[in-house]
Structure 1
Amino acid sequence: MPLDPKAEVFLQRLKVLGAPAIHKMSPDLARKAQATGYAFLAFKIQKVAVGLVQDRTVSTQKRETPVRIYWPTARESGASAPSPLIVFIHGGGWVLGDLDQYDDMCRRLCQGASSIVVSVDYGLAPEWRFPAPVEECYAVTRWAADHAEALGADPNRIAIAGDSAGGNLAAAVCLLARDRDVPRLACQVLMYPVTHMLSETESRSRNGSGYFLEGPDMLWFGECYLRDRCDAKDPLASPLLASDHKGLPPAVVITAEYDPLHDEGVAYSAALRKAGVPTVHRDYPGMIHGFMSMTWMFEQAIEAIDFVAETLQITFTYNAQEEARV
């Protein structure tokens, strides 16, 4: 399918603006540039109402990790049954991104899946290199499970979700949770995830220039995040390289046709299915990397978030029914 016309206009405007490529900036400058861009576009985002939002910190191994918690309804003690819970991990190449920039997606997931959402503001690279962000996101996920009752959540209905680098971290957390036997996760949602740090797929070549996420940007992100090239072979950095994908939680994988990461998302879906993991893969023709964060521009972004929310609702309902039978 041809590139979506709205994506084509968006990419042309970026070209006209002449902003320097991410890989040509320092991490600090890249963060400032992204924050400025978000502030410029924020007025276009229609804020979805949820019951309550709170910013907190969670004590993890090396830092106090900021989290933002969204409740689908106002909290009143004893007023409602426990809700499902989603741990959300933002993207940005492990170098960029924050809670504010993913507020829209978290609100939509909270409302659409009728779930509590815990959004994780993990330490960014290069200040926090692999495997620190993986362990930090795992620690917050375990905290959410351990404190489910206090949060008003059901510990048997916890999912993890993330986009791009956040999808990479979410997949890694699932590997840790399986191997360490805690916590039990009901579902993993991976939105155009990085699954192989040294990938040389056709989509990385075909879509590596002119489609928002550039090939040199991916190399720069990897250099910021990994301590050395050997880290790229670690399954916690490249989940596709795990020797065994059995026993991982059911998965929803979203890919975009014009994304350099398209093929590794497809490959990870296939690896999960081969291991017997129930997996739903949905590809979005004509879309570019990061489109789900652009609800102000793409109707496909809203459709994709709604699809994820509906799939999570089905999964959570099934889990609740299974628990009732036990």
Structure 2
Amino acid sequence: MNKELMFANDLRTSYRSMIPLAGKPDLECDINTITIPTTDSEYNIPVHLYIPKNVEVGLLPIVVFAHGGCFVSGDLETHTVLVHTIASNTQAIVAYVDYRLAPEYPFPTGLNDFYTALEWISANATTIGADLHKIAVCGDSAGANLATVATMMTRDKKGPQIVGQWLIYLYAASLEMNTESWKELGNTNFPSKDVFVSSLNCYIPEGVRSDLPYIAPLIGNHENLPPAFIQVGEYDPLLDENIDYNQALLQAGVKSEVRVYDKQNHGFVQFFKNSEQNTEGLNALNDGVEFLKSIFNR
């Protein structure tokens, strides 16, 4: 077993061991499973549709969601509490995409899976009860990277119209690790420098340029992207690059806001029910829901 796969398996095990701390979901949604075809005839993308109960009859907004996990971990079970709450509180469908993980499937496989799901959902919106004109993307950590890069892809490819992007502690906006927050927190707080470098070694294939904007979106073209709401904790090594990404969007004329949550670590939104350790988790989740409602005009 090579060192990249060993790292990924170790992170998957440790991440899975933390998931009980996320609590139990408030069972206020129906969950439907669909599979979306890819260019690989032997692989379809599993997607769970979280559909809120007791909503008015009609087409609902839809949030296409990518889970975090440093590109190497996470699955359709790790974020169930979070997506249940987003769907029920926003009164929108959440399409929770099970994209393939590195190192077994390095860049751009996971990104292409997410974008393929986004395209399919847009093309088939009415058949799943969704409003074609109210599609947003959301993700936490590595999922936020996929979500914001997908908005670049939709612009570049003239793909689905995305009305907003909710980015929860965006991972790998830059690959440089040269900000003050990295210098101050990168040796002690998650994601550490070692974890970050190891995850990128899994995600970025040998011979692929690591400065591609579809890998590190901070260096990309930010014009004509949908409105963004970015959240990050004060004690997250990714703090400064999240702030920098917000500034890049604003400079490109994109409506964007970054909100920094006092004394919070990476992961505080996913684990919002563990309120003793994540004191601002629920507030941040509610802030994100309000952003979605504002872009959906609900």
The worse-fitting range, judged by mean Cα deviation, of 223-232 and 165-174 is 223-232
Q: Following the alignment from structure 2 to structure 1, what is the Cα–Cα distance between the partners of residues 169 and 18?
A: 22
Corresponding residue number in structure 1 for 2:148: 171
Relative distance call for 1:33 and 1:149 in structure 2 (3 A) is: same
**TM-superposed deviation, 1:32:** 2.4
Q: Following the alignment from structure 1 to structure 2, what is the Cα–Cα distance between the partners of residues 111 and 38?
A: 21
**TM-superposed deviation, 1:290:** 1.1
Q: Following the alignment from structure 2 to structure 1, what is the Cα–Cα distance between the partners of residues 11 and 257?
A: 34
Corresponding residue number in structure 2 for 1:154: 131
Q: Which of the residues 198, 209, 229 maps onto 1:231?
A: 209
1:54 counterpart letter in structure 2: N
Q: Following the alignment from structure 2 to structure 1, what is the Cα–Cα distance between the partners of residues 202 and 183?
A: 21
Q: How many residues end up aligned between the 2 structures? A: 290
Q: Following the alignment from structure 2 to structure 1, what is the Cα–Cα distance between the partners of residues 128 and 216?
A: 32
**Counterpart check, 1:32 vs 2:10:** no
Residues 4-42 of structure 1 deviation map (CA, whole Å, 9 limit, x = unaligned): xxxxxxxxxxxxxxxxxx999532233123223324x35
The worse-fitting range, judged by mean Cα deviation, of 168-177 and 54-63 is 54-63
Q: Which of the residues 186, 192, 197 maps onto 1:219?
A: 197
Corresponding residue number in structure 2 for 1:94: 71
**TM-superposed deviation, 1:229:** 6.7
**TM-superposed deviation, 1:48:** 1.6
Equivalent residue runs for 1:35-54 within 5 Å:
35-39=16-20, 41=21, 45-54=23-32
Q: Following the alignment from structure 2 to structure 1, what is the Cα–Cα distance between the partners of residues 139 and 34?
A: 20
Residues 238-285 of structure 1 deviation map (CA, whole Å, 9 limit, x = unaligned): 11111x211001101111111111111101100000111011211111
Is the partner of 2:79 in helix, strand or coil?
helix
Relative distance call for 1:61 and 1:198 in structure 2 (3 A) is: farther
Corresponding residue number in structure 2 for 1:19: none
Q: Following the alignment from structure 1 to structure 2, what is the Cα–Cα distance between the partners of residues 226 and 239?
A: 14
**TM-superposed deviation, 1:212:** 3.0
**TM-superposed deviation, 1:58:** 1.3
**TM-superposed deviation, 1:314:** 1.1
Unpaired runs of 5+ residues, structure 1, are 1-21, 319-326
Kept in 2, the 8 Å contact 1:50–1:70? The answer is no
Q: Which of the residues 113, 126, 142 maps onto 2:119?
A: 142
Kept in 2, the 8 Å contact 1:198–1:232? The answer is no
Relative distance call for 1:256 and 1:23 in structure 2 (3 A) is: farther
Q: Following the alignment from structure 2 to structure 1, what is the Cα–Cα distance between the partners of residues 106 and 176?
A: 17
Kept in 2, the 8 Å contact 1:23–1:216? The answer is no
Structure index of larger Rg: 1
Kept in 2, the 8 Å contact 1:57–1:66? The answer is yes
Task: Determine which structure has the larger helix proportion and give its number.
Answer: 1
Corresponding residue number in structure 2 for 1:65: 45
Corresponding residue number in structure 2 for 1:3: none
Q: Following the alignment from structure 1 to structure 2, what is the Cα–Cα distance between the partners of residues 290 and 23?
A: 23
**CA RMSD, 1 decimal:** 1.9
Q: Which of the residues 280, 285, 292 maps onto 1:300?
A: 280
Taking structure 2 as the reference length, the TM-score comes to 0.92
Q: Following the alignment from structure 2 to structure 1, what is the Cα–Cα distance between the partners of residues 35 and 129?
A: 17
Q: Following the alignment from structure 2 to structure 1, what is the Cα–Cα distance between the partners of residues 188 and 4?
A: 14
Q: Following the alignment from structure 2 to structure 1, what is the Cα–Cα distance between the partners of residues 228 and 207?
A: 28
Taking structure 1 as the reference length, the TM-score comes to 0.84
Is the partner of 2:280 in helix, strand or coil?
helix
Q: Following the alignment from structure 2 to structure 1, what is the Cα–Cα distance between the partners of residues 33 and 170?
A: 26
Q: Following the alignment from structure 1 to structure 2, what is the Cα–Cα distance between the partners of residues 180 and 191?
A: 25
Kept in 2, the 8 Å contact 1:231–1:237? The answer is no
